[in-house]
Structure 1
Amino acid sequence: MKNEHNLVEFENGILLKRSVGLMLSKVHVIVTGAGAGIGKEIVTSCLSERAHVVACDISEDSLNELKASYSTNKLST
């Protein structure tokens, strides 16, 4: 899927192309199932793009491990 400005291109939920300088620093993202698997990878990707992330998971232990693995104030659990 391409947006009309061709800034970001996704295919099956995977970021394929991003224009230089486009950061998510002003974006807030809520990720469910963030404690493991795809959800955890989405958290990692969003944090690498400087987004503010709210991570949700049924497992509190998984969320605590996730929070401990990042030293950023942009991740909330």
Structure 2
Amino acid sequence: QTNAVKSPTDSPATTKLVYTVEEIARMLAISLRSAYNLCNSTTEFRVLRVGGSIRVPKDSFDAWLNRAA
């Protein structure tokens, strides 16, 4: 059994361009508050603010996650 981080978009039928903070929290197995803190303080991946929401471009986050692994 592997401990690989699974993306919520592993389904081949899904083409997702951004992650929500909730998805990042689940992928990293951290609290929602910690995920918000990460998104608000990082310069390692892009963070977009759309209205009152935070979105993280999938390509930017995935590249950071692969570098950090």
* TM exceeding 0.5: no
More relative contact order, 1 or 2 (CA 8 Å, 6+ apart): 2
Per residue, is there more helix in 1 or in 2?
2
Q: TM-score, normalised by structure 1?
A: 0.22
